Amino acid sequence: MSNHNEILLRIRKAAGKRYLFLPHAMRQMNRPERMISTREIRLVIELGEIIENYPDDARGHSCLMLGYGEAERAIHVVCAPKDDYLAIITAYLPGKVEWDEDCKTRRTK
């Protein structure tokens, strides 16, 4: 099983227990120009794909997922699976300055 598939299974298993939205994620989700709902976060986790993997993150193994929310808008979610919950570290709308059209590839400077 590939590393992406393994972490994706861990993410979805943790999400099945409980979501924990960290303060940074809540601040980012509630910015007036974004307003990302918890329903949209769940859609990203359930149907999205991993686009970056961070196995050595100081907060524990985490990854960046891409999925689509209301009106098919692209949403990025950084999350980390734990034994009893899925930590939502941050969530944002990928910007055109930093991300290519596919919202999967970082633009090089």
Query: Are residues 77 and 88 in contact, defined by beta-carbon separation less than 8 angstroms?
Result: yes
pLDDT of residue 1 exceeding 50:
no
Q: Which residues, 6 or more positions from 62, have their beta carbon under 8 angstroms from its beta carbon?
A: 54, 78, 79, 80, 87, 89
Per-residue pLDDT tens over the stretch 25-84: 999 999 988 899 999 999 999 999 999 999 998 878 999 999 999 889 999 999 999 999
pLDDT at 58: 85
pLDDT attached to residue 109: 66
Average pLDDT (3-19) is 93
Between the alpha carbon of residue 86 and those of residues 35, 62, 68, 73, 109, the distances in Å are 21, 10, 19, 23, 33
What is 50-66 written as a DSSP string? EEEEETT-TTSSEEEEE
- For helices 38-47 and 3-17, give the axis angle rounded to 10 degrees: 140
Q: Whole-angstrom Cα distance, residue 102 to residue 104?
A: 5
The structure tokens listed for 72 are 């098919």
pLDDT of residue 5: 87
- The confidence band for 22, taking pLDDT boundaries of 50, 70 and 90, is very high
What is the model's pTM?
0.93
